């Protein structure tokens, strides 16, 4: 969908995912198409459908102005879980002779490999571990992200012709110089897995772990007994993952100690809540000083912190005097920060430093043809940031190999907020919540905690999308009758100097104005008149040719609880549409012209319709069309409206 200003969900997403596109496809009941739309920009839909940090939802205009944000991540998971496995992966249209090497098979590297393979390059990926996937396979616990899903996504990437070689570590098994000789371009995406630990005595004690090593061992199936009491130090996603994993390994008393407060925790609030539900305790404003024990850790000595938030940023931390106290622990897990391992690429680092020197947004390094990205450059971020970096890297490598200039950084124009006067007219609708395993029972296994939406939940949730920027626009055919100004339930159209003006940022895409425009000058971006009419013609032609003149026809609203298959009866041909408000009188009559016996209009009814007054205008149009039928000697009862 080509639009002038991006809806906030798409603009905020690091990969500018076409959220509206796949939500609309789900609304049409076409999960295959939804999955295809997602895969255009994201090779890991099932992953992001589960663990994405949902930046899109944080800016959703429904959430900001009406009630709660649309559950975009859960809808993505619904689409990806519902789409049939092994749906076709389109191959490249062109083949290039150049070979590209990717180092690191995490989400950044694999995304770059995926995109470059689709562009037509031969891609080889080197991975130091014995399985590709990076943090997806060895960092995220199985109760959040089942391993087979990651493997399935990796297999799809392999099926594009990408060769993945595991057990090759840069600096140990292969060198950058050799890769530069053997390949035309190199992308370094080795992640950020070197733990940075606080300066505490007792780090050498048995029972003190870094979170990365701990989670990696658990994911490999290593038997691990954390004992009864566990302290996890840190406030990010990994700290929460480590704490919840310890509960599943049998720990009875798990505490997360974080030196700041809950407000500064990098982990999402929903994760904190999930952990709390499972029994994880939190000690805020707590910092470790020493780990103590004889051979094996037995306790942590720590101090209380004071956080001065007045100085801006995350605030200034100071130790509270005489606040030292002790906490007993059988296991201590440090989740306090991660840095990239740059030892093998020292020639690309800043002088005397351990950070890669990156020359531009494309991830170009000092050496032409060598690019870097993902957590390896940025430090630990999120999976979707890594995917975005991989996509950017693929584009950069392609431009380098084809002798093109690197893409300039573009600032997307974002749709403005919904006006309060419009927002208060939008019917409220509660956000659907996926079913989760009971906290009491789920801590005894690594079974996935969150379930996928049921089809009914997905239907209710997709109907909550406000279709930002996909509303009505006015063509030059406008006769400036201003009927649109009078019929719009949200008071969006205004008289302009030459024609009526409909503010794209405020229009709710109900289509009522389009259905009532006497000049047929208003159309919807959500579904154009041309698309709709073609669809009607196609279905009517099919009905005429296969039913020998005896058929019924139905318009079914995408947002109602009905689906085309729900309309019972023989020889029923249906069209599902995003809203019925824009179905005009002609569109109600034209099936009769084709010979339909009955025409059914199926929607939600006034109380349940997502669009204000849509039901009212639909009924009016049906009444008008029925009067016309009567005037030409046909039974008006042949046109029916069903709501509810």
Partner 1 sequence: MIVAEVKPMAEIQDTIKKYSKVLISGCGSCVTVCLSGGAQQVEVLASSLRTAAKSQGQQLEVGQETQLRQCDPMFIEQIRDKAAGYEAILSMGCGAGVQTMAETLGNIPVYPALDTVFFGGADGQGGFMETCAACGQCILSRTGGICPVARCAKSLTDGPCGGAQAGNCEVSKDTRCAWQLIYVRLVRLGQVHLLKETTPPKARRVHPARLNRAE
Residues that bind partner 1 (CB under 8 A): 477, 479-483, 486-487, 517-521, 584-586, 589-590, 592-593, 595, 628, 631-634
Choose between 453 and 617: whose C-beta lies nearer to partner 1.
617
DSSP assignment of 444-509 equals: TS-S-SBPPPPHHHHHHHHTT---TT-SEEE-TT-----HHHHH-TT---EE-SSSEE--TTT---
Choose between 435 and 486: whose C-beta lies nearer to partner 1.
486
Which residues, in sequence order, are CB contacts of 447 under 8 Å at separation 6+? Answer: 143, 437
Choose between 403 and 518: whose C-beta lies nearer to partner 1.
518
Closest separation in Å from C-beta 463 to partner 1: 27
Which of 604, 620, 642 minimizes the C-alpha distance to 429? 604
Closest separation in Å from C-beta 121 to partner 1: 51
Choose between 436 and 479: whose C-beta lies nearer to partner 1.
479
Q: Confirm if 166 and 367 have CB atoms less than 8 A apart.
A: no
Q: How far apart are CA 277 and CA 112, in angstroms?
A: 38
Q: Confirm if 551 and 569 have CB atoms less than 8 A apart.
A: no
Q: How far apart are CA 596 and CA 573, in angstroms?
A: 9
Closest separation in Å from C-beta 502 to partner 1: 17
Q: Confirm if 28 and 558 have CB atoms less than 8 A apart.
A: yes
Choose between 19 and 474: whose C-beta lies nearer to partner 1.
474
Choose between 276 and 619: whose C-beta lies nearer to partner 1.
619
Helix (H, G, I), strand (E, B) or coil at 620: helix
Choose between 295 and 633: whose C-beta lies nearer to partner 1.
633
Cβ neighbours, 10 Å, residue 563: 16
Closest separation in Å from C-beta 620 to partner 1: 10
CA-based Rg of the chain, rounded to a whole angstrom?
29
Closest separation in Å from C-beta 260 to partner 1: 58
Q: How far apart are CA 31 and CA 537, in angstroms?
A: 24
Closest separation in Å from C-beta 568 to partner 1: 25
Long-range (24+ apart) CB contacts under 8 A made by 52-58 are 52/76, 52/382, 52/383, 52/384, 53/268, 53/382, 53/384, 54/268, 55/12, 55/13, 55/14, 55/384, 56/8, 56/9, 56/10, 56/12, 56/13, 56/17, 56/19, 57/9, 58/12
Choose between 477 and 637: whose C-beta lies nearer to partner 1.
477
Closest separation in Å from C-beta 629 to partner 1: 8
Closest separation in Å from C-beta 542 to partner 1: 19
Burial class (CB in 10 A: 0-12, 13-18, 19+), 628: middle
Choose between 224 and 586: whose C-beta lies nearer to partner 1.
586
Q: How far apart are CA 231 and CA 298, in angstroms?
A: 11
Return the ∠ at Cα 552 (arms to 550 and 558), rounded to 5°. Answer: 155
Choose between 254 and 614: whose C-beta lies nearer to partner 1.
614
Closest separation in Å from C-beta 517 to partner 1: 7
Strand intervals (E) in 500-621: 500-501, 522-524, 551-557, 572-577, 596-603
Closest separation in Å from C-beta 498 to partner 1: 13
Choose between 250 and 595: whose C-beta lies nearer to partner 1.
595
Closest separation in Å from C-beta 531 to partner 1: 17
* Residue found by looking up tokens 């989760």 in the block: 436
Q: How far apart are CA 158 and CA 165, in angstroms?
A: 11
């Amino acid at each position: 969908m080509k639009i002038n200003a991006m809806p906030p969900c798409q603009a905020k997403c690091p990969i500018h995912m076409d959220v509206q596109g796949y939500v609309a496809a789900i609304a049409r009941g076409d999960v295959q198409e939804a999955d295809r739309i997602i895969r255009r920009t994201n090779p890991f839909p099932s992953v992001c459908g589960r663990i994405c940090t949902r930046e899109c939802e944080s800016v959703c205009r429904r959430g900001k102005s009406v009630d709660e944000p649309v559950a975009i991540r859960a809808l993505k998971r619904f689409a990806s879980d519902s789409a049939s496995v092994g749906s076709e992966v389109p191959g490249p249209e062109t083949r290039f002779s150049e070979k590209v090497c990717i180092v690191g098979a995490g989400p950044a590297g694999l995304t770059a490999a995926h995109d470059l393979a689709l562009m037509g390059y031969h891609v080889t990926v080197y991975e130091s571990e014995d399985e590709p996937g990076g943090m997806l396979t060895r960092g995220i616990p199985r109760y959040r992200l089942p391993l087979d899903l990651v493997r399935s996504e990796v297999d799809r990437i392999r099926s594009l012709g990408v060769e993945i070689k595991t057990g090759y570590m840069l600096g140990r098994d292969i060198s950058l110089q050799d890769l530069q000789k053997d390949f035309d371009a190199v992308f370094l995406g080795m992640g950020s897995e070197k733990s940075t630990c606080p300066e505490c005595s007792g780090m050498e004690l048995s029972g003190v772990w870094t979170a990365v090593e701990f989670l990696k061992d658990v994911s490999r199936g290593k038997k691990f007994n954390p004992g009864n009491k566990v302290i996890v130090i840190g406030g990010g996603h990994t700290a929460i993952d480590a704490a919840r994993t310890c509960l599943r390994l049998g720990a009875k008393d798990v505490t997360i100690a974080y030196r700041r407060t809950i407000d500064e925790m990098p982990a999402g609030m929903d994760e904190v809540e999930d952990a709390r539900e499972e029994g994880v305790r939190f000690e805020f404003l707590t910092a470790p000083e020493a780990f103590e024990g004889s051979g094996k850790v037995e306790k942590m000595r720590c101090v209380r912190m004071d956080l001065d938030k007045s100085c801006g940023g995350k605030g200034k931390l100071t130790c509270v005097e005489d606040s030292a106290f002790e906490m007993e622990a059988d296991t201590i897990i440090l989740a306090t920060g991660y840095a990239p391992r740059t030892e093998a690429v020292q020639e690309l680092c800043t002088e005397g430093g351990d950070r890669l020197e990156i020359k531009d947004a494309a991830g170009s390094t000092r050496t032409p043809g060598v690019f870097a990205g993902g957590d390896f450059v940025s430090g630990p971020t999120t999976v979707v940031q890594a995917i975005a970096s991989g996509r950017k890297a693929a584009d950069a490598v392609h431009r380098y190999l084809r002798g093109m200039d690197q893409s300039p950084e573009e600032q997307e124009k974002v749709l403005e907020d919904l006006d309060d006067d419009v927002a208060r007219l939008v019917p409220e609708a509660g956000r659907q919540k996926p079913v989760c395993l009971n906290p009491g029972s789920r801590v005894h296994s690594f079974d996935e905690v969150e379930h996928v939406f049921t089809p009914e939940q997905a239907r209710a949730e997709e109907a909550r999308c406000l279709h930002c920027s996909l509303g009505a626009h006015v063509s030059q055919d406008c006769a400036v009758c201003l009927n649109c100004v009078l019929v719009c339930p949200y008071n969006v159209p205004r008289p302009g100097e030459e024609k009526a003006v409909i503010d794209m940022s405020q229009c709710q895409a109900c289509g009522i104005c389009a259905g009532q425009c006497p000049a047929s000058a208003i159309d919807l971006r959500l579904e154009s008149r041309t698309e709709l009419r073609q669809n009607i013609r196609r279905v009517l032609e099919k009905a005429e040719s296969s039913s020998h003149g005896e058929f019924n026809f139905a318009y079914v609203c995408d947002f109602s609880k009905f689906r085309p298959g729900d309309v019972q009866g023989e020889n029923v041909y249906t069209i599902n549409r995003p809203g019925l408000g824009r179905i005009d009188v002609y569109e109600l009559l034209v099936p009769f012209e084709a010979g339909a016996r009955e025409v059914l209009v199926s929607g939600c009814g006034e109380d349940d319709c997502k669009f204000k007054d849509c039901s009212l205008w639909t009924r009016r149009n049906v009444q008008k069309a029925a009067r016309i039928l009567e005037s030409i000697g046909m039974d008006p009862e042949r046109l029916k409206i069903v709501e509810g």
